[in-house]
Structure 1
Amino acid sequence: MTSGFSLKDQLFNQKKTRYLAGLFAAADPGFDPARFEADVMAELPDLELKQRISLIADVLSRHLPEDLEAAAPVLKRALPPPLDPNLRDDDFGDFIFAPLGEFVVLRGLDTAPELSLQLLSEITQRFSMEWAIRPFLTRWTDQTLAEMQRWASSDNYHLRRLVSEGTRPRLPWGQAVPLDLAQPLPLLDQLHADSTRYVTRSVANHLNDISKKDPDLVLDQLRLWQQAGRQDPKELVWMTAHALRGLVKAGHAGAMQMLGYDPDAPVTAKLSVADTPVHIGGALQFDCALDGPADAPVLVDYRLHFQRPGGKTSAKVFKLKQTTLKAGRARLSKRHPLKAGASTFTLVTGTHHLEVLVNGVVRASLSFELLDQAD
């Protein structure tokens, strides 16, 4: 039987461990790469992804000098050349360097914040330290923010991005940080005019996080940036849409207006399901006819209310179309797959509801029965 794709095995495996061991052996003649590899591989196969990061960091701490000041020169010499600083966009780098950040947290969080932050600034140019920086924001808030203020002016865009990404309130996989939502805004204000999409995407994602709790704070900040005119207008349009995507899904009127869509536009919609019955494993095919003012811009989403076990329901919003009502009308169609056996969301038979939202407002709805998978 063919096994499925494993992210943890792709990112952390024997080959990657051997590569990391080789870097440290080249940096320190006393480092035993075979022993390091054996110590890691004795436990690694049974662990999940984040546990593997912690394991490698822990094993590394046994193979390097106990004092961070003594270990720091070895770590620096072991680092490969930085990621290309001339690119306008990039990924995190190589995940095998994530344990280096965890090692710095283990050794330096309580006693050596200045050296630790300096090391993280070096490592992040090989792999993003957005998770490792967060314990320092918690333990040494003022000192870390002051360092981030300097990083925000760095020539290296990986350091600039770390300022935004490391302070995000809802960073995936990242621990919470004790910052008021508005506290990082002066840093984001500096970064929003960045010429690198890798940085501006992080800034927009940061605002999207904030919007979950304080939409008005985000809208006010975007208005200030529009007035400042420091960012390329096209890039700021992209950033604004990316920052407001959560509010758009929620139908927030202020977000719609900022993006140029009128929630009060007199648009009507007619909705129909093309094929019935609808089965798990098949697809929901529906058509939507819109009528309204000529050339009116419309952002059209659809929301499915799924049956859940125990009679409950859950709703999900999906993108449909951004368009204008040419001659006052638009005709839209969508085929929404209803996969059987999905690992992330199990479909349940019963009455489901479909809504079409235009500029954040429900304009049409209908119900349909979802039946078991057809033979």
Structure 2
Amino acid sequence: MADSAEAVPALKEIFNRERLRHVARETEAVWPDFDQKRFLKLATAGLDDLGIMQRMRQTAASLHDTLPEDFPKALPILKKLAPRIGHGFVAITLSEFVALYGQSHFKQSLDALKFFTRFGSSEFAVRHFLVADFERTIAAMWKWARDEEEHVRRLASEGSRPRLPWSFQLKNLIADPSPTGPILEALKADPSLYVRKSVANHLNDIGKDHPDLLVERVSGWDLSDKHTAWIVRHALRTLIKKGDPRALALIGTTGKAEVTVETFAVEPAKIKLGERIAIKATLGSTSKTAQRLVIDYAVHYAKKNGISRKVFKLKETELQPNATCELAISQTVKDYTTRKHNAGFHRVELMVNGEILAESGFDLRIPE
């Protein structure tokens, strides 16, 4: 029987031939002059060799070649098409169309991105406008941050992230993130979890280049608000994993942990790729008062040219005086698109409030 992981379709298959035929049918339904046959020929050209973002861009280009050439005439057709696509990532094609062909129609294009983001996020497309005309685009995004629609509010934060995954970096905002300050301030207590996740990720991006600025910004926020507190906790995650004492203090930890590590083990000691390891630990309090603890573990992955260390969340807990805390977690060691494993010893560290208190590890074998 095949491994279930092998049965999962590649992400790029979101834009498979059947999906493209669906786009073609729905486009003809809203614009009867649409040439389905020509669109499909263009959209499926070399499809098997294209990644997901390349397929999305090719779909947008194929729509451009089969819709009215004039951008303002094509836009109403795409707006009718948007609610009929039925898949959030596929609908990103529409905002990509705007990014590729709407640069000379600034106001119409930004209005279109605001509209399309409800069906498939315009976060990638709006970055092209930030590069082309930063001042006008960021001013529009300040307004979006106060919109009634959560998808539009999220676009204000997500689209202006300095280091948005799957997109190009905004070098000017990496150097100076202050222009997005009004967006983050407007959204710091947003009722929508969808928006709050974006704000936290945006702040985490800032913290990678300006940790002092991140701590200074969130230190002035009202952490008694549950939504704001959620954002701050997740925004500080990179600094927390590094053991930054200011970040740890902001989430309520009690400084250096007063604990003993009674046990710490990684089992089994030897595994093959695709097998699981179990990480177990027991902590004992040596404090006379309760302690707020952030407990993580770090794996040192063997690489061909050195070591790559990755920190994982284990638990946050309040440990009472003289009490013990049992910890256990398991993890499958397998290859991902973003991480390929190599044979060798992998050190595992136990971290409490950012301090390494114990070490263990496992040997990994890669089957031929």
Is 1:159 aligned with 2:152?
Answer: yes
Aligned pairs, number: 357
Between the aligned partners of 1:209 and 1:247, the Cα distance in structure 2 is: 11
**What residue in structure 1 maps to residue 30 of structure 2?**
27
In structure 2, the CA distance between the partners of 1:347 and 1:335, relative to structure 1 (3 Å rule), is farther
Between the aligned partners of 2:111 and 2:276, the Cα distance in structure 1 is: 54
Partners of 1:261 and 1:298 within 8 A in 2: yes
Between the aligned partners of 1:149 and 1:186, the Cα distance in structure 2 is: 7
- The residue correspondences of 1:272-351 to structure 2 (distance < 5 A) are 272-273=264-265, 277-280=269-272, 281=275, 283-293=277-287, 294-309=289-304, 312-337=306-331, 339=333, 344-350=339-345
In structure 2, the CA distance between the partners of 1:266 and 1:289, relative to structure 1 (3 Å rule), is closer
Partners of 2:57 and 2:96 within 8 A in 1: yes
Partners of 2:266 and 2:361 within 8 A in 1: no
Partners of 1:271 and 1:366 within 8 A in 2: no
Q: Cα offset for 1:156?
A: 1.3
Q: Secondary structure at the match of 2:325?
A: strand
Q: Cα offset for 1:122?
A: 1.3
Of 178, 183, 187, which aligns to 2:183? 187
> Counterpart amino acid of 1:188?
L
**What residue in structure 2 maps to residue 147 of structure 1?**
140
Between the aligned partners of 1:340 and 1:9, the Cα distance in structure 2 is: 21
Partners of 2:266 and 2:362 within 8 A in 1: no
Partners of 1:295 and 1:328 within 8 A in 2: no
Is 1:262 aligned with 2:262?
Answer: no
Partners of 1:263 and 1:361 within 8 A in 2: no
Partners of 1:278 and 1:284 within 8 A in 2: no
Between the aligned partners of 1:274 and 1:151, the Cα distance in structure 2 is: 48
Q: Cα offset for 1:325?
A: 1.9
In structure 2, the CA distance between the partners of 1:98 and 1:7, relative to structure 1 (3 Å rule), is farther
Of 336, 351, 354, which aligns to 1:357? 351
The runs of at least 4 consecutive aligned structure 1 residues that moved more than 6 Å come to none
Q: Secondary structure at the match of 2:343?
A: coil
- The residue correspondences of 1:113-132 to structure 2 (distance < 5 A) are 113-132=106-125
Q: Secondary structure at the match of 1:226?
A: coil
**What residue in structure 1 maps to residue 78 of structure 2?**
75
Partners of 1:300 and 1:320 within 8 A in 2: yes
Q: Secondary structure at the match of 2:91?
A: helix
Q: Structure 1 unaligned segments of length 5 or more: list them.
A: 84-92
Q: Cα offset for 1:188?
A: 1.1
- The residue correspondences of 1:170-249 to structure 2 (distance < 5 A) are 170-177=163-170, 178-179=172-173, 180-226=176-222, 233-249=225-241
In structure 2, the CA distance between the partners of 1:356 and 1:236, relative to structure 1 (3 Å rule), is same
Between the aligned partners of 1:190 and 1:235, the Cα distance in structure 2 is: 13
Of 30, 54, 65, which aligns to 1:51? 54
Q: Structure 2 unaligned segments of length 5 or more: list them.
A: none
**What residue in structure 2 maps to residue 105 of structure 1?**
99
Q: Cα offset for 1:338?
A: 5.7
Q: Cα offset for 1:30?
A: 1.6
Is 1:252 aligned with 2:247?
Answer: no
Between the aligned partners of 2:267 and 2:328, the Cα distance in structure 1 is: 12
In structure 2, the CA distance between the partners of 1:308 and 1:100, relative to structure 1 (3 Å rule), is same
Partners of 1:152 and 1:163 within 8 A in 2: yes
User: For the aligned residues, what is the CA RMSD?
Assistant: 2.6
- Stretch of structure 1 that moved more, 125-134 or 216-225: 216-225
Between the aligned partners of 2:16 and 2:366, the Cα distance in structure 1 is: 39
Q: Deviations over 1:187-217 (max 9, x none)?
A: 1101223221111111111111111111222
Equivalent pairs: percent with the same residue?
A: 33
Partners of 1:302 and 1:356 within 8 A in 2: yes
In structure 2, the CA distance between the partners of 1:288 and 1:278, relative to structure 1 (3 Å rule), is farther
Q: Deviations over 1:90-144 (max 9, x none)?
A: xxx52221221221122112x2211111111111111100000001001011111
Is 1:137 aligned with 2:130?
Answer: yes
Between the aligned partners of 1:201 and 1:341, the Cα distance in structure 2 is: 27
> Counterpart amino acid of 2:247?
A
Q: Secondary structure at the match of 1:30?
A: coil
Q: Cα offset for 1:182?
A: 1.8
> Counterpart amino acid of 2:36?
P
> Counterpart amino acid of 2:120?
F
Between the aligned partners of 1:265 and 1:335, the Cα distance in structure 2 is: 21
Q: Cα offset for 1:284?
A: 4.7
Q: Cα offset for 1:184?
A: 0.2
Q: Secondary structure at the match of 1:153?
A: coil
> Counterpart amino acid of 1:235?
H
Between the aligned partners of 1:155 and 1:82, the Cα distance in structure 2 is: 24
What TM-score do the two structures reach when normalised by structure 1?
A: 0.86
Between the aligned partners of 2:48 and 2:197, the Cα distance in structure 1 is: 34
Q: Cα offset for 1:300?
A: 1.2
